[in-house]
Amino acid sequence: MIPAAFGYTRAGSVDEAVQLLARNGGSKVIAGGHSLLPLLKLRLASAETLIDIGRLGDLRGTKYLPDGSAEVGPLTTYAEIIRDTRLDWVREAVEQIGDLQVRNRGTIGGSIAHADPASDMPAIGIALQYQAVLRSGRGERVVSLDGFFQGPFQTAMEPDELLVGLRRGPLPEGAAGAYRKLRQPASGYAIVGVAAVVARDGGKVSHARVGVTGVHEHAYRAEAVEATLIGSDGSAGSIDAAADKVLEGVDVLSDIHADAEYRSAMAKVYTRRAIEAAIAASGA
């Protein structure tokens, strides 16, 4: 299909992009275009003006700080994450996203801002405790990804805000992670996707963070799973007990790919698998 008519302008800097957003109500930001353009063509979305930020080098790349914290530019592609990440499990997870073309053009910021309920990066970002850095003419604010996703394709971003960075603090000592998903065969999107980051101390789980995608109308943090896991010995029984909590407080999606009953069962299975893999990688 052909999209409705829209204007187009290319921002020459981050400041110019912010100014354009402030001046042009109804405008949308475009970078890789893998998410927005199909919606425009299907007329499921519209825009008065597309503001192209795809050439802003300031918004690209991954930077690690001496304390182990990390900052990722929103224009960083999946392929660049695969190349630059220091976390093997994140590399393995991102290699499962889409196909070669998507990984070469699709951006991390686009995935986060688009907030597709079946996208992989939101769950991974929640598990790693990333924050979104948002800038507008009013200044800059930082929002945790836990709570950033508010509905299908809905986030805490205001219409005049631009996502200019993703950042996280240092991971707990000895922390390890894993991502496990039930993949939709045609698209590669997650029917169920679970990211877990776990650390142990003295034989007990001292840290647990779990992000879930594909199950609810938006990616979410499984706090009940974490609470059950922390302080446990990480045994099979304790993992099962934690995984059973993954749907607590959640309305499970039902669609052409999986009904709610099947998706619920798989959510528990893949939560258990992600936690098992993270605990195994975390060592004694």
Residue 1, pLDDT above cutoff 80: no
Overall fold of domain 176-282: Enolase-like; domain 1 (3.30.390)
Domain with CATH 3.30.465.10 in the chain: 57-168
Residues of the chain with CATH 3.30.43.10: 7-52
Architecture of domain 7-52: 2-Layer Sandwich (3.30)
State the chain's mean pLDDT as an integer.
95
pLDDT digits (tens, 9 = 90+) for 73-129: 999 999 999 999 999 999 999 999 988 999 999 999 999 999 999 999 999 999 999
> Residue 8: its pLDDT value, please?
93
d(CA 245, CA 264): 11
Q: What angle do CA 92, 98, 104 make, to 5 degrees?
A: 85
Residue-wise pLDDT for 7-42, tens only, equals 999 999 999 999 999 987 788 999 978 788 888 888
147 backbone φψ class: left, alpha, beta (φ>0; ψ -120 to 50): left
- What whole-number percentage of the chain has pLDDT above 70? 99
Query: Once rounded to an integer, what is the mean pLDDT over residues 173-179?
Result: 97
> Binning pLDDT at 50, 70 and 90, where does residue 247 land?
very high
Model confidence band, residue 159 (pLDDT cutoffs 50, 70, 90): very high
Comma-separated ranges of CATH 3.30.390.50 domains in the chain: 176-282
- Judged by average pLDDT, the poorest of 33-42, 225-234, 245-254 is 33-42
- High-pLDDT (> 90) share of the chain, %: 86
pLDDT of residue 284: 54
Domain 57-168 top-level CATH class: alpha beta
